[in-house]
Structure formats: C-alpha cells, structure tokens
Amino acid sequence: MNDTTDWFTIERIAPETHQITEGQGVLPCNTFVVDGGDEALLIDTGLGIGDLRSVVEDLVGGDVRVLLTHSHWDHLGAATQFDDVVINGRERGPDGTVSLDVLEDDYDQRPREFMADWLELGKPLPDGFDPDNYSIEPIPDVGAVDPGDTLTVGNRELELVPVPGHTPGLLAVLDRETGVCHGSDVLEPGIEIFAHFEDSNLSAYRESIDRLVSLRDEGAFDTLTIGHGDPIRDDDLSVLDHVSEALTAVANDEASYEVIETSWGPTRSATVGDVTVLTPAE
C-alpha cells in the first residue's frame, strides 16, 4: 500500500473543494481542501499516517496553508508536514506549540489505542510505516487566529465561526461562495454530541449550535461537513434543530440518561429523540 492514493480516499464535495478521508473502519478522519487558485487551505490534518502533503499538492496548484479547527489528536496528525499552520490561540501553548496535552494530559494514549484497534482488525498500513513508533508530534511555531476572522485564501474568503463546546476554541470554516460550512467535530456520526471531555462546555455548545442554525436559516450554507462522517446537506440540516433541542433538555436536566463506560471513563449518555449527548459523569 502506498502512503498517498492507497491510504486516502478523495471526494469532490463542492466546487474547488475536496474531502480527504483516512482511517475508515476504525476512526474515519476527514480533512478538507479549499482551492483558491494561487493558494489553498487545508482544514485539519488527520491521523498523520500517510503522506497528506503530497495528496494535497496533487489536488491544487498553489501554496498550501493549514487551519487546525482544534487541538484533538485526530486533527493534528500530519500538521508537521506543512509549513504554514494556524489555530485558535486558545488551543496552542504560550510558545506557539500545539501538542496533544494542550487541553488534557491523557490524550497521548489515543493514537496508541487507534493503532491497536487497527492492527487487531488486520488492516493494512502504508509500506514502510512502523506502527510501533506511531505518535503525534508537537507542532511548533503555529500561528494564532481569532474567531470571527476572515481568511483570504487566493480568490476565496473564508469566515472563522466560533463553535466552542466540544473544545474551548473549536472553529468552523464558512465558505459562503460554495454554501459549505466545515463544522469539524461540532457533530459526530449518528448524531452524537461529544461534550464529555474535561474542557467541554455544554452551555457554549448549545450557543454554537444555535449560531449554526442562524447561519443556515439566513442561507449562508446548505452543506455542513463534519470531521468523521459524510457531509450533511439541504433538508438533512434540520438535524441542527434536533441537536439544539437535545442540548437544551440536557442542560435543563429534562433528559433521562444512563452512565456508560468509555475510554474517557464513566460518562453520562442522554438520548433525546435521535440525538445522543455525552457529558461527564459526576
């Protein structure tokens, strides 16, 4: 297996916009390329197993800039392959470094857990890749952006929308020209809300979803991409209304829940309609 087209799958999801996926079958991770002509923006960098830079450079003709939507490990993986990387300043260290322990101390075990699951299933890896040495390296000299900024990327204007809750500095990327909002981990496949991390905030999450609802209703986007599943389009975007209702019910203690065991420890799982909300167990 080569470390480019064999490891990654590539799909055009909008004009001059591609979704690149890896890790299917264990933890599908999406990155997104917005081509602005003489420049392109790569949104997130996945697992860091394949040669993502070569894949992106084969898709676009200009210089590649990188925006990390947040600092969780499965969005940082290949960031060290690139030279121009930025993130919300809330999710980098004081020296400009982004690493797995920026928000929580126990994230260094997540890559090992992924690789153990991958190998247990007997799934292939790129030729020459050593699973025993798999880790996510710290990314030095990461620039800071602020929520509300507009990134000019070649001929594209991309708005950075604050969507905290999953993490304190989570950013969505709104491309009004194509009607695409890149939402990262604001939603998980199966309509799950991951608000059970040490740094998650349920109140901020509800405000973030309501912000996306307002943008959808004003016609800013008709496609929402997510970090680990297929894009959500058109009428299916009503899911945002269901998520808002579920978060309100959980915040007001109006939703029944059970405590389940996860790799983060005991976690509350509340189901409201077709939405599952995970929060810390007290």
User: Of all helices (H) and strands (E), which one includes residue 35?
Assistant: strand 29-35
Q: How far apart are CA 109 and CA 191, in angstroms?
A: 25
Residue 88 reports pLDDT greater than 90: yes
pLDDT, one tens digit per residue, over 120-178 is 999 999 999 999 999 999 999 999 999 999 999 999 999 999 999 999 999 999 999 99
| Percent of the chain whose pLDDT exceeds 90 | 92
pLDDT bracket for residue 8 (50, 70, 90) = very high
Q: Rg of the Cα trace of the chain?
A: 18
Going across the sheet that includes 9-14, the strands are: 9-14, 17-22, 29-35, 39-43, 63-68, 85-88, 143-145
DSSP string, 5-29: TTT-EEEEEETTEEEEEE-TTT--E
pLDDT, one tens digit per residue, over 197-247 is 989 999 999 999 999 999 999 999 999 999 999 999 999 999 999 999 999
Q: Is the pTM of this model over 0.75?
A: yes
Mean predicted confidence (pLDDT) in 8-27:
98
Mean pLDDT, rounded, of the chain: 95
Residue 109 reports pLDDT greater than 90: no
Residue 32 reports pLDDT greater than 60: yes
Residue 105 reports pLDDT greater than 70: no
pLDDT at 231: 98
Give the Cα-Cα-Cα angle 25, 174, 73 (nearest 5 degrees). Answer: 40
Please give the backbone phi and psi of residue 278, each rounded to the nearest 5 degrees, phi first: -100, 130
Going across the sheet that includes 150-153, the strands are: 150-153, 156-162, 171-175, 180-182, 223-225, 232-233
Q: Alpha carbon of 263 to those of 17, 107, 114, 136: distances in Å?
A: 34, 11, 11, 19
Please give the CATH number for the structural domain made up of 9-254: 3.60.15.10
In total, the chain counts a number of residues equal to: 282
Mean predicted confidence (pLDDT) in 59-83:
96
pLDDT at 265: 87
Mean predicted confidence (pLDDT) in 45-60:
97
Tokens coding 45: 């960098």
Residue 102 reports pLDDT greater than 80: no
pLDDT bracket for residue 106 (50, 70, 90) = low
Which comes out higher in pLDDT, residue 102 or 92? 92
